Amino acid sequence: MRIGWLGLGAMGAPMAGCLARAGHSVVAYDIVPGRAAALAGDGVRAADSITGAVRDAEIAAIMVATPDQVDQVLFGPAGAAGSLAAGAVVVIMATVGPEVVAEVATRLGRGGVTVVDAPVSGGVQRAAAGDLLIMVSGAQDAAGRVRPLLDALARSAPVVGPAPGDGQRMKLVNQLLCGVHIAAAAEALAFGESLGLDPGECWRVLRDGAAASFMFEDRGERMIAGEFREPRSALDIFVKDMGLVSAAAEHAGASATLTAAARRLYEEGHGRGLGRLDDSALIEVLRQDRPERPRSRADDQSPGHAGFSD
């Protein structure tokens, strides 16, 4: 398939490379110079503009970070909308909220371009391996046309609804769980440290029990290693996503108590300058907020000490 790919960040780059290795013709563009050219070894061809990437494409895939970026790449002064042929399909793979995708579908539909809503989950390593979960929604014929793209990128790509925006709704449920799980992992490991426990030992012991989760396994390892400088998923992504979850919950009249608590932590991390770091850096917010570590049992049993501390 002829695919124009827009957005080559932490997830977009390995996804574009995965598609090219699967045999699709991928022409890619990113606002950061050199990102597309760096994928030449995978067979991705670099475009020098948005329009150059999508001009001859059957499918235009968008993997940017924010609703504003979706608007710019499609409808900005140098946007893709004017270069898309009638009959093309735009696949929105970013998490930007259901209202944004529905509006894009309406605007592009006037020119005979169809939108498939297909937000992704799984992380950088799974993106490179074609092992993502993709939550697909849209018209049946359009979803069928992009199935080869979905199958190259995903281990599972279920159709979750008939309209663009339904995939975003499912992704927001996913992001609620992911955001809360990361926050819970950070709080648990910081709590263990405050009790005088080795956080690495906490992680190794608890990852095999009932408290285990993907986020505790994956982010927990990075939390104890302090590997924050090269983000696999930036903390600011969850500032955005938990905001989207909160807005959708308010609109639906749904309870979002845990979302609100986790959202405050991500926003605090952004305020402390952690936003561009890996989202596992959230543990630093909890470490900074805690009081001085109390004495551990090991401290209390040190030579010259008898009984409990005051």
Mean of the pLDDT values across residues 186-214? 96
Mean of the pLDDT values across residues 85-106? 97
Other residues' Cβ atoms within 10 Å of the Cβ of residue 285: 24
174 and 237 in a single domain? The answer is: yes
**Residue 148: partners with Cβ closer than 8 Å, 6 or more residues away:** 1, 24
pLDDT at 293: 46
pLDDT at 290: 59
101 and 238 in a single domain? The answer is: no
Question: Which pLDDT band holds residue 289 (cuts at 50, 70, 90)?
Answer: low
Q: How confident is the model over 145-155, as pLDDT tens digits?
A: 999 999 999 99
Total domain count for the chain? 2
13 and 107 in a single domain? The answer is: yes
**Residue 269: partners with Cβ closer than 8 Å, 6 or more residues away:** 235, 239, 275, 281, 282, 284, 285
| CA dist., res. 29 & res. 64, Å (int) | 11
20 and 39 in a single domain? The answer is: yes
pLDDT at 138 over 80: yes
Examine residue 308 and state whether it is found in any structural domain, yes or no: no
The token duo for 2 is 């002829």
pLDDT at 308 over 60: no
39 and 73 in a single domain? The answer is: yes
Examine residue 302 and state whether it is found in any structural domain, yes or no: no
Q: Among all residues, which ones are annotated catalytic?
A: 171
pLDDT at 185: 98
pLDDT at 11: 95
pLDDT at 78 over 80: yes
Counting every residue, how long is the chain? 310
Other residues' Cβ atoms within 10 Å of the Cβ of residue 300: 13
Examine residue 224 and state whether it is found in any structural domain, yes or no: yes
127 and 214 in a single domain? The answer is: no
Three-class DSSP category at 62: strand
pLDDT at 25 over 90: yes
Give the helix ranges, DSSP H, for the chain: 12-21, 50-54, 67-75, 98-109, 124-129, 140-145, 147-153, 166-194, 199-206, 214-225, 235-252, 257-271, 282-289, 297-300
Examine residue 295 and state whether it is found in any structural domain, yes or no: no
Whether the pTM exceeds 0.75: the reply is yes
Mean of the pLDDT values across residues 93-115? 97
Examine residue 184 and state whether it is found in any structural domain, yes or no: yes
pLDDT at 221: 96
Average pLDDT, the chain: 93
Beta strands 132-134; 120-121: pairing state:
antiparallel
pLDDT at 64: 96
Q: What is the CATH number of the domain that holds 101?
A: 3.40.50.720
Three-class DSSP category at 51: helix
pLDDT at 31 over 60: yes
Question: Which pLDDT band holds residue 292 (cuts at 50, 70, 90)?
Answer: low
125 and 246 in a single domain? The answer is: no
pLDDT at 309: 29
Query: What percent of the chain shows pLDDT beyond 90?
Result: 90
Question: Which pLDDT band holds residue 288 (cuts at 50, 70, 90)?
Answer: confident
Domain coverage including residue 137: 2-162
